Structure 1
Amino acid sequence: MTTIREQASRGLKQGDAFTITRTFNERDTNVFGEISRDMNPIHCDERFAAAKGLRGKICHGLLVGGMITEIGGQIGWLASGMNFRFRRPVYFGDTITCVFTITEADERNRAKADAILSNQQGEVVVEAWLTGVLPGQAERAILAQT
């Protein structure tokens, strides 16, 4: 069991924060493009990326933003809303750190969270605002067993 899941099985509250890191590569982007059918040439054609003023092909914003679903899956978060602001491109080889913080939680387990995703230079690449439902006592017991 991961430490994130262990914390979730004990219960979550406002102020709890989780951090993960991932390095993105061209294969990730190609697979995501196939799954999402987003074949924008900015992800797969150097000439097009250069014409846009970029230093190379870039990862899909939702692929990078999807890091929040790794944390959400570990804590048993049932998403009801996600809003993203894509601040900077993510290039192949960039290492992204995602910090997911629960900003509100009520007695019915409805919650809000913020996520800040930054590259290896500390530059914010994605900001996200989330709403969802935290696991209740029965779900936490199951999380503790997985």
Structure 2
Amino acid sequence: MHPDDLPDPGTVLRHERTFTVDDVRAFADVSGDRGEHHEQPDEDGRLLVHGLLTATLPTKIGGDLDVLAREMTYEFVRPVYTGQPITCEVTIEEVTPRGDRADLDADIVCFRRDTEEVVLTGGFEGVVLA
């Protein structure tokens, strides 16, 4: 995306995903995080989704905007389990044009679609190049 085409401050961008058991296992393979809580199903047969796997929701939105991230912060508020639809909302807070680039700041909130319970909050800042 060209810096001139970035969304205006106040714009909310959304992405939703339901993580599967295969997603959690693939992330464990890539990350090497094989904590028992990610490999042993709970009493409902679900796996606990890695926090950083949940954090791929806002990175997908940042990727759609072609953001080169400088800083990302996350607070993992509640657990996410496989089979739970999670909605991520990224709110554009600031866009600062700088010639052939633009600095971008955004806030993040991810929540369970069915209960609207917040599971992750945070933000990111980065740059979009022309």
Q: Which aligned runs of 4 or more in structure 1 are off by greater than 4 angstroms?
A: none
Report the counterpart of residue 142 of structure 1 in structure 2.
none
Q: Which amino acid aligns with 2:36?
A: P
- Report the Cα offset of residue 73 of structure 1: 1.0
1:114 aligns with 2:104: no
Q: CA RMSD in A?
A: 2.2
Give the Cα–Cα distance (whole angstroms) in 2 for the partners of residues 8 and 115 of structure 1: 20
1:128 aligns with 2:122: yes
Task: Looking at secondary structure, tell me which structure has more strand per residue.
Answer: 2
Report the counterpart of residue 143 of structure 1 in structure 2.
none
How high is the TM-score relative to the length of structure 2? Answer: 0.86
Q: Tell me: CA distance 1:111–1:11, structure 2 relative to 1, closer, same or farther (3 Å).
A: closer
- From 36, 39, 42, the equivalent of 1:44 is 39
Q: Structure 2 matches for 1:52-63, cutoff 5 A? A: 57-63=47-53
Task: Looking at secondary structure, tell me which structure has more helix per residue.
Answer: 1
Bigger Rg, structure 1 or 2: 1
Identical-pair percentage: 32
- Report the Cα offset of residue 32 of structure 1: 0.2
SS at 1:134 equivalent: strand
CA contact (8 A) 1:8 1:76 kept: no
Q: Tell me: CA distance 1:29–1:65, structure 2 relative to 1, closer, same or farther (3 Å).
A: same
| Structure 2 unmatched ranges of 5 or more | none
Give the Cα–Cα distance (whole angstroms) in 2 for the partners of residues 89 and 10 of structure 1: 35
| Structure 1 unmatched ranges of 5 or more | 140-146
Report the counterpart of residue 59 of structure 2 in structure 1.
69
Deviations 1:1-30 (A, max 9, x none): xxxx6x977333322221011011111000
- Report the Cα offset of residue 111 of structure 1: 1.8
